[in-house]
Amino acid sequence: IEYKGTAYASVEKYLVTQQNINSVSDLKTVRSGNGLVKVTKIEVLDENGDLIDQVCSGQDFQVKFHFKSEKHLRGINLIPSLSISTKMDVQVALHHSRLTGQFFKEIANEGAFILSIKNLPLVPAVYNLSFSLIDRGVVYDGINNVMELCVIDGDFYGNGEVPPSSHAILLLKGEWSII
C-alpha cells in the first residue's frame, strides 16, 4: 500500500480500504439492557433500500435495525438511537427518535427501525456506530461500537472537493460573500 500524507491520514486510508459489508447479523457481543427487545442485525442501505458497504460524504442513506422481542409490546415509549464516533472515540453525532418527537408505543415480536439520514456531513474516514433502545430510562438493548461506517469521498459541496479527515470531521454547508 502506498499513500502520501500524515500518519493519521494514512491509517484512515488503510482502514477505508479494508472494510467489509456494513451488515451485522446475530449480534453476540457485550450488550447493555434487559434484553426485552434485541437488535439482531444492522444494515446500511442506500436511498433505494439496497445494501451498501460504504457511504459517500453528502449521500442520503438509511440505517436499518432489525429487532426481535419475546412478545408483542404495548404501552411503551421506546426510543431507538444511533451514535457515530471516530476511531479515537470522539463523539461526532447522536440521533434518537425523541429528537423528532417519535416514541414507539407498540412493537411486534419482530420488525425493524429505520433511520433515514440526509446529506451525510462527514469527511471520508472510518467511524464507529453504537445503538441503544430505551424506554423511559430503561435500556432494553445497546451495544457500543457495534460496527464500522466507512465514509468515502462524495460530492457534498457539488464541486468534487471534500477536506481530508486530518483537517475536519464535519462538513458545513455555507456560502461566502464580501461586502
112 C-beta neighbours (distance < 10 Å), count: 14
pLDDT tens-place string over residues 122-152? 999 999 999 999 999 999 999 999 999 999 9
Query: 7 falls in which pLDDT band (50, 70, 90)?
Result: low
> Between these two residues, 16 and 111, which has the higher pLDDT value?
111
The C-alpha cell at 36 is 426485552
Query: 50 falls in which pLDDT band (50, 70, 90)?
Result: very high
The C-alpha cell at 103 is 416514541
Q: What percent of the chain has pLDDT over 70?
A: 84
Identify any residues that bridge with 150 across adjacent strands, giving them in sequence order: 126
Query: 23 falls in which pLDDT band (50, 70, 90)?
Result: low
**Does residue 33 contact residue 54 with C-beta atoms inside 8 Å?**
no
Average pLDDT in the 11-32 region?
A: 57
Quote the pLDDT of residue 18. Answer: 47
String of DSSP letters for 108-172: -SEEEEEEEE-S--B-SEEEEEEEEEEETTEEEEEEEEEEEEEEE---TTSSS----TTT-SB--
Q: Count how many residues are written for the chain.
A: 179
Query: 21 falls in which pLDDT band (50, 70, 90)?
Result: very low
- Residue 97 is given by DSSP the state G
Residue 130 CA to residue 135 CA, distance in Å, equals 17
Average pLDDT in the 20-45 region?
A: 78
**Does residue 5 contact residue 166 with C-beta atoms inside 8 Å?**
yes
82 C-beta neighbours (distance < 10 Å), count: 21
Average pLDDT in the 9-21 region?
A: 50
CA atoms within 13 A on the CB side of 142: 20
